[in-house]
Amino acid sequence: MTLGLPKTSIFFKDGDFNLIYGDSFILLKKLKSKSVDIIFADPPYFLSGNGITCHAGQMVSVKKAEWDEEIDVNEKLKFNRKWIRLCKRVLKDDGTIWISGTMHNIYTIGVALEMEGFKIINNITWRKLNPPPNIACRAFTHSTESILWAKKDDKKSKYLFNYELMKEINGGKQMKDVWEISMTKPSEKKHGKHPTQKPLELLERIILASTREGDVVLDPFNGSGTSGIAANKLRRKYIGIDNVIEYLEVSKKRYLDLNNKGRD
């Protein structure tokens, strides 16, 4: 798989598994047009502030990192439109994009998708089977996240949906748009943690639903690389971009562990 990126941007490459270091807003412009089959993105939620939440039974701050600081709604929309526009260029005409988020960002993402020429196929609700309690007791416990699945808004676009496989996974019944999956297992964090790491089961289902073996999966916000690990397990090609070396290192360790090519 030829990426067309500067060698200095390649953090790690092994076969068709690629981890890229740098700014997605710059690097997405350099990738070949219409070269990606699906995109999974878990962009900033913009929820970090002075609030508190519960983690492992302890009261902790919701402040995750500088990249997750609160911004106003106009800035959110501008940010989301920008990266979605860049992703659209590299996505094949029959490809699809999956974007996860919470109430803090998912509504501006939905608007941004439509403004940038996408049509939403499904709004998946991920119901967490083991959510942390609401310590403040001033609202209902936050136990869900949304995942928007969209295609280019073109009537000629024939996107892939592995309907029969999803039905088989669901015990012979049509799979609904509410997915009950536990939060990320501790075993998936043994090489390091990311504040918004998604469970491997969730990414495997997304990739199985909308790709074939050998397809190219792109994640412009790689994080700890769960999308890449799922893609590699399922024999898909992978491009993950992140501007934090620490997260790319975690992704590399997870890949090497999965393929028995290295240990801590």
Q: Domain coordinates of the chain in residue numbers?
A: 7-46+70-125+147-258
What integer pLDDT is reported at residue 135 of this predicted model? 85
Local structure of residue 47 (DSSP, 8 states): -
13, burial (CB in 10 Å: exposed 0-12, middle 13-18, buried 19+): middle
245 phi/psi in degrees, rounded to 5 = -60, -40
Q: Taking the CB of residue 19, how many other CB atoms lie within 10 A of it?
A: 25
Q: Give dist(CA 112, CA 85) in Å, integer.
A: 9
Q: Give dist(CA 24, CA 5) in Å, integer.
A: 12
Per-residue b/e over 74-92, b at no fewer than 16 CB within 10 Å?
Answer: eebbebbbebbebbbebbb
The domain defined by 7-46+70-125+147-258 folds into Rossmann fold (3.40.50)
What integer pLDDT is reported at residue 59 of this predicted model? 45
Contact 173, 108 (CB under 8 A): no
SS3 helix, strand, coil % of the chain, rounded to 5?
A: 30, 25, 40
Tell me the per-residue pLDDT of 4-14, one tens digit each, with 9 for 90 and over. Answer: 788 889 999 99
- Helices marked H in the chain — which ranges? 24-27, 73-90, 106-115, 163-169, 200-210, 226-233, 245-258
Helix axes 73-90, 106-115, angle to 10 degrees: 50
pLDDT-flagged residues of the chain (< 50): 52-60, 62, 67, 264
Q: Give dist(CA 238, CA 236) in Å, integer.
A: 6
